[in-house]
Amino acid sequence: MKAINSILIPQFLDALARETAVLAPVKNGGDVYFRPWQPGAEIQWEQNSLLPPKNALFPQTEVLYKYELQGQDGEIHEENPGAEPQIIFGLRNCDLQSINLLDKTFLSGDYVDPFYQARRKNTVLIVFNCHQPQLTCFCTSLGVDPQGGEGADLVLYELEREPAVKSVMLYETGRELGMEAKTGKGEEILKKYRDFFSDFGKKPRPFTSCTLHFKTEGLAEKLRKMFEHPIWADISRRCLACGVCTYICPTCHCFDIQGKNAGDQGYKYRCWDSCMFSDYTLMAGGHDPRPTKRERFRNRFLHKLAYFMERYGEFLCTGCGRCLAKCPANIDISYVVKKVKEAEINAR
């Protein structure tokens, strides 16, 4: 096993960024964002990012193809789905699991998304194992191991501290962080930048339990019987349908395809969309199969907790807690699970 002093992390990222684009969780005002690493940036370990690093693999807006009209004829120029190599540094296991779930969506089945595939293939993931959850975290309830590292190329974790070391010493000398390669890409990084690392014999700091937790046994099966249950009208009443929950969610992947025209030229692009918006399912003829907030609210949570489970065997939620922290109406998936568990099946 290898270790690196936390004081050396900025220098390590500087070295990585000289050869490859690096996204890292940096402080910006009172929040944390995954931004391109720049020398002098302040890395943030203690707080999860406001937005997940999903945009690095599934951009909020991307051009699919361009076209040019020539009288009755025309030419279509497809965008090259190739992607430059990049490193996402310091994402947590909840966001790592969200990428594993996006892989199932975009890389499995009969159709593979070439744009997502190209970025995913050229991305190195360096995950930071949690040892102290935030109050809004509930990853363990959804089966996510906060110190698992499944799907990562490198795993970074804090090591146990010497009890006699005072906090002022920690500030001056930094903290020891273990780093373990999980793939060949990870091994290459440890080998190439070996001057930053040393051997260690300490144990990783253990994870303290989430204060927010709930059981999910039988949840998907129960939800299959609740499509017309009055619970959806009840718990969706205070929802504002603002869509913030979908835009900060690391696993939401709904998108729309739009076009822009300028004379004889134009292009088609896709952009994130939200199932909570009133025009999301609106058809060209004016029909909307989900005309009210109740139907849209129901679809969102059935997708997260039942439909995705039926297809892929996993919940489409990683317990990152962003919806709990940012919903203006204080509605989150843990609240919905609680209400579903309490509901009487026979009530109609």
Where in the chain are the domains? 2-342
What's the confidence (pLDDT) of residue 201? 73
What's the confidence (pLDDT) of residue 172? 46
Which regions of the chain are under pLDDT 70?
Answer: 162-173, 346-348
What's the confidence (pLDDT) of residue 45? 81
What's the confidence (pLDDT) of residue 347? 45
Q: Which residues pair with 34 in a beta bridge?
A: 25
What's the confidence (pLDDT) of residue 332? 84
**pTM value?**
0.92
